[in-house]
Amino acid sequence: MGHDRFASRPTSRHPLPLPKGVKCYTIAAAIGPAPKSRWDQVIGDGLVPVQSALGQHPDARLKLTFPRSRQWTVRGISHLGLLDRDQVYELIRDWLGA
């Protein structure tokens, strides 16, 4: 309301870093087969772009810094496909057991 919805404007988001002392993990799904493809940037898992799911952002203040060992991207499935994929369950179980 009161502005052009297609015009660029400053973000109203505020940085919220990952909590200190807590091991944080992230799993991203990707419909496309190749890492860092246009599919990942635009389509992602059909709901969330891969970069967003992994906490990546062009503005360094808004970037979440998950260690590489606590990030995983599963390919060839959608956002909701994460819910019943055996390999996703096994990874979460391994992470929680570590």
The pLDDT value given to residue 40? 73
pLDDT tens readout for residues 16-54 = 899 999 999 999 999 987 777 777 777 888 899 999 999
- Site of tokens 């799911």: 53
Instruction: Give the DSSP per-residue string, 20-51.
Output: TTS---EEEEESSSSTT-HHHHHTTTSSS-HH
The pLDDT value given to residue 85? 93
pLDDT tens readout for residues 55-66 = 999 989 999 999
pLDDT tens readout for residues 67-96 = 999 999 998 899 999 999 999 999 999 999
The pLDDT value given to residue 23? 94
